[in-house]
Copies of this chain bind each other. A is one copy, B any other.
């Protein structure tokens, strides 16, 4: 079907490999401290090659964030679509988000950065996706509230509270073994008057 192409064949899946390398670099350093040269080196490729796959640094970076939020959105959607008590759903997403952001601590700064670039259309798109994600959480909370399983907070505010708490609380993770208590603390805050349940096991690292 697809006529065998002429010329040098592209390195397999290079675009994807660049994104992964970029992630590794951007996670550790801040946007303006990351040189395209760094990304190229991390990918074992020359700088010029990056520009064959992405128009520029900003686009590479945005593609990276879009990938990440897409991934998170997908996972949350799956978790939240499942049946079961709202409290357990909340617990699962809290556990996932704590792990995800712990392993990508610099994303928080990156994200903050985009959220203030409101001029550009790409940034608006980011905000849209970011909102969609918050809405997923919001809906899960609204569900729980409607069923009387969660304390009666405004779901929209509660969703941002939850996401904010996750960011704040992640400060105290020094090892995977601290994950359980943090999850318990965050979740219990959303259960009306419930005591934190004892949970000693650690999540995936």
> Which residues of chain B are near A163, meaning CB under 8 Å?
168
Q: Is the interface of A mostly helix, strand, loop or mixed?
A: helix
Interface string of A154-169 (1 = CB under 8 A from B): 1011101111111111
Flag whether A39 is at the interface (Cβ < 8 A): no
Instruction: Tell me the complex Cα distance, A167–B192, Å.
Output: 22
A190 smallest CB distance to B (angstroms): 8
Q: Are A160 and B189 closer than 8 Å at their CB atoms?
A: no
A32 in contact (CB, < 8 A): yes
Q: Is the CB of B189 within 8 A of A153?
A: yes
| Cβ of A106 under 8 Å from chain B | yes
| Nearest B residue (CB) for A110 | B112
CB distance from A202 to the nearest CB of B (A): 16
Considering the complex, which residues of chain A in the window 47-78 have a beta carbon less than 8 Å from any beta carbon of chain B? none
Say whether A113 faces chain B, with CB atoms less than 8 Å apart. yes
A122 within 8 A of partner (CB): no
Judged by a CB distance under 8 angstroms, whether A108 is at the interface is: yes
Residues from chain B with Cβ under 8 Å of A113 in the complex: 30, 109
Q: In this assembly, does A152 line the interface, its C-beta being within 8 Å of a C-beta of chain B? A: yes
Which residues from 142 to 183 on chain A have a C-beta closer than 8 Å to any C-beta of chain B?
151-154, 156-158, 160-169, 171-172, 181-182
Whether the Cβ atoms of B112 and A109 lie closer than 8 Å is yes
A195 proximal to B (CB < 8 A): yes
Contact of A165 among B30, B108, B168 (CB under 8 A): B168
- Among the listed B109, B164, B181, which residue makes an inter-chain contact with A164, where contact means beta carbons less than 8 Å apart? B164
Please, how many angstroms separate the alpha-carbon atoms of A72 and B110 in the complex?
25
Q: How far is the CB of A28 from chain B (nearest CB, A)?
A: 9
With A and B bound together, what is the CA distance between A44 and B56 in angstroms? Answer: 36
